[in-house]
Homo-oligomer: A and B are copies of this chain.
């Protein structure tokens, strides 16, 4: 019971193993009668073929994998769905795998390519800190999706990976989009704008978004004040949390009584900030405006609804999977694709011109 193999089934049915194999794999060259009989026995004995053996033997397998870094980001899940559908239409199998924070996704990819004879890989999430060497070891087309832009490397003064490896990448231009958010705030009259960010010490989207903030201020001739920058520095575990947003906003407000707006580098963080502002007895947006980044569902329902930089999930997903298949088909070379995001103004932002204050 525990370990029925194809041999057992063959013996029981009085046929050869290859016939059983044919039955399992819907091979055309098999008598429907025989097949039916075999399937009945398989069912009775609860036989499940050993995938390891299967894939070991198979030389090809029309399948691609989605490697999601970080266990929880709900943002990626909708994207995976879109891509899975597309994959199905192409008659490819989709393998979804989570990669732990402390695991190397490129390693996992390599193992999977060998193990499952993948045709392609989509990397979702994580930061762009890959070793060119191991990247080059991947023998099938792959694409990074919503992984922090590699410009980070440049900012960090490191040699760019893309100089040695030509990889495909689909992402939003974090710096530009974050500038968009700040510019909007400035246009609304805000001058003292705080930011809750993360990862300033390393290549990360947090750093990029922070740089966008800085740049926007600069362009608008508004002095940059380090006191207005709160950096999340929790040691381990998720940093994009409501709690961190809460703590950040609290500190920012305490240190800057004249602050009128807070930009958070993610919606989840912004939700925490909103709570902190309200708990301080202030009104949103009358006293303090809040802008997030991502465009998650939660932001459409929270009170007040969140103004944010919305990343076009569906478009990004479609562009990514299309790109991957184009590479698999040999119709396209790896390239960097920048997708436009959109500032969605909802209820958490308002005018920065104060009437009766200070």
A residues apposed to B, CB below 8 Å = 1-3, 46, 48-53, 55-56, 71-72, 74, 77, 80-81, 96, 98, 107, 110-111, 114-116, 133-134, 137, 139, 241-243, 246, 271-272, 274-275, 278, 297-298, 300-304
Contacts A/B (CB < 8 Å), 24 sampled:
A1-B137, A1-B139, A3-B114, A3-B139, A46-B134, A50-B56, A50-B114, A50-B115, A51-B52, A51-B114, A51-B115, A52-B114, A53-B56, A71-B96, A72-B77, A96-B98, A241-B297, A271-B298, A271-B302, A272-B301, A275-B301, A275-B303, A298-B298, A303-B304
Closest to A96 in B: B98
Closest to A134 in B: B46
Known: A3-B114, A48-B107, A51-B114. 20 other contacts (CB 8 A): A2-B139, A46-B134, A46-B137, A48-B110, A48-B111, A49-B111, A50-B114, A51-B111, A52-B52, A52-B55, A52-B114, A52-B116, A53-B56, A56-B56, A72-B74, A72-B77, A96-B98, A242-B297, A271-B301, A302-B302
Q: Which residues of B contact A46 (CB under 8 A)?
A: 110, 133-134, 137
Closest to A110 in B: B48
Closest to A78 in B: B72
A144: min CB distance to chain B, Å: 19
Q: Which residues of B contact A134 (CB under 8 A)?
A: 46
Closest to A53 in B: B56
Q: Of B49, B98, B242, B303, which is within 8 A of A278 by CB?
A: B303
Q: Which residues of B contact A55 (CB under 8 A)?
A: 52
The distance in angstroms between the C-alpha atoms of A338 and B285, with both chains bound, is 45
Q: Which residues of B contact A271 (CB under 8 A)?
A: 298, 301-302
Number of copies: 2
The distance in angstroms between the C-alpha atoms of A49 and B110, with both chains bound, is 9
Tell me whether A303 and B301 are in contact in the complex, defined as CB-CB below 8 angstroms, given that A3-B114, A52-B56, A107-B48 are known contacts.
Answer: no
The distance in angstroms between the C-alpha atoms of A212 and B110, with both chains bound, is 50
Please provide the 7 A-B residue pairs with the shortest distance between their CB atoms, ordered closest to farther: A2-B139, A46-B137, A303-B303, A52-B52, A52-B56, A275-B301, A242-B301
Q: Tell me whether B302 and A52 are in contact (CB under 8 A).
A: no
Q: Which residues of B contact A241 (CB under 8 A)?
A: 297
The distance in angstroms between the C-alpha atoms of A272 and B298, with both chains bound, is 9
Closest to A58 in B: B52
The distance in angstroms between the C-alpha atoms of A52 and B57, with both chains bound, is 10
Closest to A237 in B: B81
Q: Of B137, B274, B297, which is within 8 A of A303 by CB?
A: B274
Q: Which residues of B contact A274 (CB under 8 A)?
A: 301, 303
Q: Which residues of B contact A275 (CB under 8 A)?
A: 301-303
Q: Which residues of B contact A1 (CB under 8 A)?
A: 137, 139
A226: min CB distance to chain B, Å: 27
Closest to A81 in B: B71
Q: Which residues of B contact A304 (CB under 8 A)?
A: 303
The distance in angstroms between the C-alpha atoms of A72 and B302, with both chains bound, is 20
Q: Which residues of B contact A72 (CB under 8 A)?
A: 74, 77
Q: Which residues of B contact A137 (CB under 8 A)?
A: 1, 46
Q: Which residues of B contact A50 (CB under 8 A)?
A: 56, 111, 114-115
Q: Which residues of B contact A139 (CB under 8 A)?
A: 1-3
